[in-house]
Structure 1
Amino acid sequence: MSYIEKINTNGKGIMEKVREAHRKEYGVEPEVVAVAPGRFHLAGEHTWFFKDKTLSMAVNLPVYVSASLRNDSSFKFYFVQLEDEKHTNLSSLKLKKEDKWANSIKSILYGFSSGGFELKGIDFTIYSEILPSAGFGITTAVKVAACWAIRELCGLKCSQDQILQVIERANKNFLGTANHSADSFAAIFSKENNLVLTDYAKKSCELVPFNFKGKTVLLTDALVPRIVTWNEDSLMQPENVLLLGELKERKANVLGGWQYEEDKAEVNEVLSVVSEDTKRRLLCVMNEHKCVLDCVNAIQKDDFASFARSVNRSHQNMRDYDISCPEIDWILKRVHELDENPDDLRNPVNCGRITGKGFGRGIYTILRDSDVEKYKEKLEEYEKIFGFSPKCYSVQPANGVRLI
């Protein structure tokens, strides 16, 4: 089998499929179609609670949401690839476990209505060749594309800041989850050939030009079932935020204006009041912030070796944080072995890291073009050894959400 799957990015061809699916399901043409990109985080996604930074890439794994007005106050949802349909109305807009993927759009409807925006009945069609279960920002893309479609279709006067508030209400108040700004920022503000750097302390983001020559970015769904081995929420406590706050040093010449204390004696003294497990994971949070800074610095200098070292170090950090797994570690070890001198840790030519929630599934690798075929061979070995059939996608930085 081919292990590098090609996603159809032919806009005209996909648009006809989206429109046809909408017509077939509802008997009318869609009045609006929005598209938002998939996404993965390169580093920092587990440090948001401590108001640190996250480096992300929106990618050309597009999610389309088409919509048309109804003549009543109901909402219907159809996911083409899942061949699944759901329905609701404003008076019964509740989180339902059985609604699964549809809860994403329902949450956005709640986000608008709870903010005082007047909605009309709408038929929605979702088209995505990557399913939400894979991760890779698909659920966020559904939410963001739905925001743009609803705003346009209902004629809502809603600024970008208000859209972000809609998404925040959707996540916190309807879904009961944390609101990760880096997810939304990547889907909304990304540009081609750029990464998105989110600064949680400043509640803002900036673009980082990204264009290493002769490299291919691959996203691999290792299809390892997620088995959560510890509760990450146990680390995200106010007292731990205060502890790390004591270790933040203002530095005018550092991106974002601060860095964590590097004196080990000082760090050990501040963290002496917590358990060894908590200390180890808080150290991982601190190390991850440095990985983000080092990644950005290397990108700005066009220094791939330094960038790759930072990415590889970040994966080791995630292992220490206890969210990787043997299967993903095996794949990434094979990536390092693609180097002619794998023991030369100073000058790696490839890199990779677990990405997303962790405990399984997602990996990104940035490889020399000449190593892509060799990586495919390693995935074949992986399937034979572990019994999981991985899916791999060649991706590149993509533009944020837009109407088509």
Structure 2
Amino acid sequence: MSKFSEVFGVEPDGAWRAPGRVNLIGEHTDYNDGLVLPIALPNRIVVTASARSDGQFAVASSGHSDTIEFSLAGIEPGSVADWAAYPAGAAWVLREAGFEIGGANLLVDSDLPSGAGLSSSAALLCATAVALLGLRGLEVDPAEVARLAQRAENQYVGAPVGLMDQMASMCCTAGHALYFDIRAMTTDQIPFDPAADGLGLLVVDVKAPHRHVDGEYAARRRSCEQAAAELGVPALRSIAFDQLDEALARLSDDVVRRRVRHVVTEIRRVEEAVELMRAGRLREVGPLFTASHVSMRDDFEITVPELDVAVDAALAAGAVGARMTGGGFGGCIIALVEADAVDATLAAIEKAFADHGFTAPTSLAATPSPGASRIS
């Protein structure tokens, strides 16, 4: 007997997956109409599902002992809490958008670490959405599913997230990074295959507790909005790289000045990374990773000691480049390393953590993977 039939008493109609993501470069440019460059991870959330005709939902998870039940008609923001708010939010947003999804039994499974900044919440929303649509044979453009998932997280869950995570989960392809221009709302698939260049992309969860995240995120956003207002532009994306010095000279607050410098230079680093990747010069992207980390550490001030130690240890071990990835104040680093040096690099990070008395990190190898799809 399968786990699904054991929980729900029926056989599933299918299973759908949505991956987590790491952003290669472009941190904190999303709410400045900027550029981002994520890849989908091989780690994923899987939703196994069966359709129901009574308009009811039963949701279970391999990581939780309880089964949550609710009706499609009764879903409203706040009506379902905790982890089940995400599948409930996916059902709510599809109902609100006019899709006839009916009810469903949903079993959630995952090998995607939660709390590591790898976009597990977006993956859960996207996996649920494609499962509910798939059960009814409804075909929807992946980018539209991403936008619906963002709306669910904004309006149902109550998290003011941007669109990058959902777009990565829905629209990435194997062997590529997703070049997402948030101002233009356009995407392009950029070849990114480290293994073909004798490289590996190491993702290290530093296991640092996220410190003051909500208040710090809000403060960074306010600084960017304040700067845009002072400079008379709709968003910091409007400041060209060659106009940066002039723009900084017009700002009176040094903290705001440093925030602007990070955003504008980070957008330029994304552009440079894309140019190099298109030219097949992947090793030259490594120094951009490192420069990005320095900018996040010194100008945007979103790193923590564990992140800085991990990056320094990776670079000392010979990494081509390394940087914090994600929102900051905890989470993960990525390191672009020689393929035969992945284990040695991780060992160097583990030793550095032990020397500093930090919790031991965990890691995964990141291969650029496809976005959400049906798997059975």
Amino acid across the alignment from 1:269 = A
Structure 1 window deviating more from structure 2 (19-28 vs 215-224): it is: 19-28
Following superposition, the deviation at residue 222 of structure 1 comes to 1.0
Kindly provide the CA deviation profile for residues 105-163 of structure 1, in whole angstroms up to 9, marking residues without a partner as x: 11111111111223312110111122432331222111111111111213446444542
| Structural RMSD (CA) | 2.6
Residues 1:362 and 2:342 aligned together: no
2:316 corresponding residue in structure 1:
337
Out of 37, 48, 56, the residue aligned to residue 74 of structure 1 is 56
Q: Summarize the Cα distance change of 1:282–1:226 in structure 2 as closer, same or farther, 3 Å threshold.
A: same
Counterpart CA distance in 2 for 1:382 and 1:158 is 47
2:287 corresponding residue in structure 1:
309
**Matched length:** 368
Q: Summarize the Cα distance change of 1:144–1:219 in structure 2 as closer, same or farther, 3 Å threshold.
A: same
Kindly provide the CA deviation profile for residues 165-197 of structure 1, in whole angstroms up to 9, marking residues without a partner as x: 422321222122234222122111211110001
1:240 corresponding residue in structure 2:
227
Aligned identity (percent) is: 23
Q: Summarize the Cα distance change of 1:29–1:204 in structure 2 as closer, same or farther, 3 Å threshold.
A: same
Following superposition, the deviation at residue 209 of structure 1 comes to 0.4
Following superposition, the deviation at residue 263 of structure 1 comes to 4.7
Contact persistence 1:221–1:391 (CA under 8 A) = yes
Kindly provide the CA deviation profile for residues 347-395 of structure 1, in whole angstroms up to 9, marking residues without a partner as x: xx52111111210121111111222121232243244232412111112
Structure 1 window deviating more from structure 2 (310-319 vs 206-215): it is: 206-215
Contact persistence 2:32–2:235 (CA under 8 A) = no
- Given the two structures, how large is their TM-score scaled by the length of structure 2? 0.89
Q: Secondary structure at the match of 2:256?
A: helix
Following superposition, the deviation at residue 297 of structure 1 comes to 1.6
Contact persistence 1:261–1:267 (CA under 8 A) = no
2:153 corresponding residue in structure 1:
171
Kindly provide the CA deviation profile for residues 265-290 of structure 1, in whole angstroms up to 9, marking residues without a partner as x: 51233323xx2212211111111111
Counterpart CA distance in 1 for 2:232 and 2:274 is 22
Q: Secondary structure at the match of 1:271?
A: coil
1:400 corresponding residue in structure 2:
371
Which runs of 5 or more structure 1 residues have no equivalent in the other structure?
A: 1-18, 250-255, 340-348
Amino acid across the alignment from 2:303 = S
Contact persistence 2:78–2:157 (CA under 8 A) = no
Residues 1:378 and 2:348 aligned together: yes
Out of 151, 156, 160, the residue aligned to residue 133 of structure 2 is 151
Q: Summarize the Cα distance change of 1:288–1:84 in structure 2 as closer, same or farther, 3 Å threshold.
A: farther
Kindly provide the CA deviation profile for residues 277-333 of structure 1, in whole angstroms up to 9, marking residues without a partner as x: 122111111111111112112212222342111110001111121110111111111
- Given the two structures, how large is their TM-score scaled by the length of structure 1? 0.83
2:246 corresponding residue in structure 1:
266
Contact persistence 1:194–1:397 (CA under 8 A) = yes
Q: Summarize the Cα distance change of 1:338–1:146 in structure 2 as closer, same or farther, 3 Å threshold.
A: same
Counterpart CA distance in 1 for 2:247 and 2:234 is 7
Structure 1 window deviating more from structure 2 (66-75 vs 197-206): it is: 66-75
